A = this chain, B = another copy of it.
Amino acid sequence: MEELNIQASTHAYSIVIGEGIRNQITDYFTNSYSSIWVITDENVAKLYLGDVLETLSDFHAHHTILPAGEQTKSIDYYNQLMTEAIAYGLDRHSLLIALGGGVIGDLAGFVAATYMRGIDYIQMPTTILAHDSSVGGKVAINHPLGKNLIGSFYAPQGVFYDMETLITLNDREIRSGYAELVKEALISDEAIYRSILTTNLQNLPPSITQEHICSGIQIKAQVVEQDEKENGMRQYLNLGHTLGHALEAHLGYGSIAHGEAVAIGLLFALHVSESVFDTTLPFLQLKQWLETNHYPLHSLTGDQQTILAKMKNDKKNKQHRIQMVLLEQVGKPIIKQMTDEDMLSYLSSFKRKLVNK
């Protein structure tokens, strides 16, 4: 077991990473609860809900199983969950458990943040990708016009990461999760970046994954402790997301995995950075690694104007100008305000570079 502690503005909480945690989750409860509500999706329910409910057998426990996928992070499901919470008679002394990936964590977390003005919740991430979203208290749902546009900052009571639940991930989910690990390494730690880039995702020893996840969470935890509300350095975590979010919105949520879109966005950020700072960054090395590991680099379709319009819906923008995270070098992120003209030109040159062998 590895344990990290995070100091949020409202309270401190633990992140515990290890094997078999789902079978002993009650050991980590920090309060007594009137009832417990587990929210999960249909894929995770088949595999791990039974274990969790068994551990909760001494409690008054309810559960809700939602469809898997980004479409579930909608105001309709949010409203449905509120109705269920009331129907179950949940009160302010209830605990919500988000058992699943980022979609479940974000949606259930936003329900916890706003049901009766806030109840306790814990995150039990079951994907690699969710190492990122489960830490730091960002919770949200999507609006048809943009991702995560409705949400809050609301820290969990704890994050409990059972490494055993990762063995059932498919290749796409592994790719998607690793993109955020690459991002964390790129903004802060060249050694981890090198370690990841020597890893073949098709043949991944669990111990290595745990090591990479622990590093990623450590980086994320340091950032959000210093800037919980994203007024400064937390924005660095947006590396790769300007294009990533735009691409997801353009292709339709769920038709490309979040991390796959971010991976293309990371490569784009390296491309722009090389030009802005007139420097050489490991663009080709990253492109090669992404290709080896079957990231869908061909997914960057749509004309530049369409992609630009989607980028401008990003909530990090200021006065309709795109704020983009760039790298002066690996481990040294910086935020630059970009003109529309520059963005169009970079998109165009990036597309050309993608098809070059």
> What is the interface size of chain A, counting residues whose CB is below 8 A from a CB of the partner?
39
Q: List 24 A-B contacts (CB under 8 A).
A: A9-B9, A34-B318, A75-B75, A82-B143, A82-B150, A86-B143, A89-B320, A91-B315, A91-B317, A91-B318, A92-B318, A93-B318, A93-B319, A113-B152, A114-B114, A114-B151, A115-B149, A116-B149, A116-B315, A117-B138, A117-B151, A117-B153, A118-B229, A152-B152
Contacting residue for A145 out of B75, B86, B319, CB 8 A: B86
A111 CB → nearest B CB, Å: 9
1/0 per residue A300-327: CB within 8 Å of B?
0000000000000101111110000000
**A64 in the interface (beta carbon within 8 A):** no
Contacts of A16 in B (CB 8 A): none
Given contacts A114-B151, A117-B315, A118-B229, 5 further A-B pairs with CB under 8 A are A75-B75, A82-B150, A92-B316, A118-B153, A152-B152
Contacting B at CB under 8 A, from A122-168, are 138, 140, 143, 145-146, 148-153
Closest B residue to A116 by beta carbon equals B315
Closest B residue to A141 by beta carbon equals B114
A19 CB → nearest B CB, Å: 34
**A83 in the interface (beta carbon within 8 A):** yes
Contacts of A348 in B (CB 8 A): none
**A299 in the interface (beta carbon within 8 A):** no
A78 CB → nearest B CB, Å: 8
